[in-house]
Structure 1
Amino acid sequence: MSKAHHRKKHPEAVRRQLLEVAARLSLEKGPSSVTLDAVSQAAGVSKGGLLHHFPNKLSLLDGLFDDLTEKLDRAIGEKMRDDPEPKGRFTRAYVAVCFLPEGMADGEQWKVLTVALISEPHLRERWRQWVERHFAENVGTDSSLDAVLVRYAVDGLWLADLLGAPSMDAKTRAAMLERLLTLSRA
């Protein structure tokens, strides 16, 4: 009997490794470099092992999407639990997680996903559903025009950071953060 049958399996670790390798390949060489062959080879996982977790490239991107939005949900939920003021709570949590470049864990993977969102209609629809779900859950507290404006401003800054637009100095960024937080309470 081969050693493979005696070796301990760690499917979640393999899945995580495959997602990390796919993200790294996409960042280093572009989204077109993310092929099943390239990912399995770079991860040191057989193609059959990869196919066990992700039967095609879109399922790999879906896996990355699921992983990142689950982390985003957890981070936003934690910030919301720490905020005693109901009005604008979701918006302030969104600002806290997404406004500062270091606020969002897995920033490199988010870059990959953002590029994939632009090129994959299926993922754009999933993102739209994520946003709509959160808007619906927070309609009583975060549906003012000011709250919507704050979230769009944060999205714009996030995209500017992602694309490497000229960054603003720390003082301007801090002033913008304060203004957005004030608007979230309006």
Structure 2
Amino acid sequence: MTKTPKRTNRPEAVKTDLLDAAARILTERGIQAFTLDLVARDAGVSKGGLLHHFANKKALLDGLFMREMETFKNDILSSIQKDPVEAGRAARAYIGLDRMENEDEGTPAILRHLLAVMLLEPQLCSEWTRYYWETIRSTGLFDNMTPSLLLSCLAADGLAIWDILGADIIDKKNREQLQLLIEKLTNSSSTEK
């Protein structure tokens, strides 16, 4: 007599698998190909199992956005702690200067794709924008920023929006120069009053 393996109840692991699959599909195929069936199949879960954790596509995207925002927040806080230069460290952490070499994978790439979804979905845009700024404000990041540091953050956000929109407005050399200028702004802020 063969024993049927006992199914282990691992709801958090299944939820993580679903969110990982959602991130993969979103970054590799885009929102147009993003379906609950595809996410369930990629995660090795039945569609009913997916619906047990996420009632619909919006709930799944919300879960992914919130997870990635938590990771983004933790990355910012970690960057602040690692940066030995106090002046401008919050701006450098927000911009992700220490993460630039990996910006096409992980949380930065997923957040870019999720921000693209926001452009298509007005309800998500409103909800996620509020959640985004609540998360960023909870770090105290912008509490004492000088105008130069705020400008560097806004410029970096602008470049990210251009990436989301696929706007190849500036060539690689000019982009690198802009990134160096943004970094320079974060380093020169200690002399600003």
Task: Give the TM-score, by structure 1 length.
Answer: 0.78
- Tell me whether 1:150 sits opposite 2:127 in the alignment: no
> How far apart are the structure 2 equivalents of 1:33 and 1:171?
32
Measure, in 1, the Cα distance between the counterparts of 2:47 and 2:97. 36
Counterpart of 1:42 in structure 2 is 42
Alpha-carbon distance between aligned partners in 2 of 1:38 and 1:53, rounded to the nearest angstrom: 15
Paired with 2:46 and 2:162, the residues of 1 have a C-alpha distance of 38
**Match in the other structure for 2:117:** 116
Which has the higher mean CA deviation after the structures are superposed, 166-175 or 27-36?
166-175
Please say if residues 147 and 183 of structure 1, whose CA atoms lie closer than 8 Å, have aligned partners that are also in contact: no
Matched, 1:127 2:129: yes
Separation (CA, whole Å) in 2 of partners of 1:71 and 1:98:
15
Mean Cα deviation higher: 36-45 or 102-111 = 102-111
Counterpart for residue 31 of structure 1: 31
Q: Mind listing any 5+ residue stretches in structure 1 that lack a counterpart?
A: none
What residue ranges of structure 2 are gaps of 5+ in the alignment?
A: none
CA-to-aligned-CA distance 1:109-137 (integer Å, 9 cap, x gap) = 22321211212234323234422553473
RMSD value, Cα: 3.0
Label 1:139 to 1:158 Cα distance change in 2 as closer, same or farther (>3 A).
closer
Report the residue type matching 1:141 in the other structure.
Answer: N
What residue number does 2:65 align with? Answer: 65
Q: Which moved more, 1:153-162 or 1:53-62?
A: 153-162
TM-score (norm 2): 0.76
Judge conservation of contact 2:156–2:182 (CA < 8 Å) in 1. no
Aligned to 2:183: 178
Q: Does the Cα contact within 8 Å between 1:25 and 1:33 map onto a contact in 2?
A: yes
Letter in 1 for 2:183: E
1:177 to partner: Cα distance? 4.3
Superposed displacement of residue 46, structure 1: 0.7
The offset of 1:141, in angstroms, is 1.5
Is contact 2:92–2:183 with CA below 8 Å preserved after alignment?
Answer: no
Q: Which AA in structure 1 matches 2:186?
A: L
Q: Distance in 1 between matches of 2:46 and 2:57?
A: 15
State the percentage of identical aligned residues: 33
Please state whether the residue corresponding to 1:9 is helix, strand or coil. coil
What is the CA–CA distance in structure 2 between the aligned matches of 1:109 and 1:139, rounded to whole Å?
Answer: 23
Greater Cα offset, 74-83 or 130-139:
130-139
Range that drifts further, 68-77 or 152-161 = 152-161
Q: Match for residue 79 of structure 1?
A: 79
In structure 2, relative to structure 1, the CA distance for the partners of 1:15 and 1:76 (3 Å cut) is: same
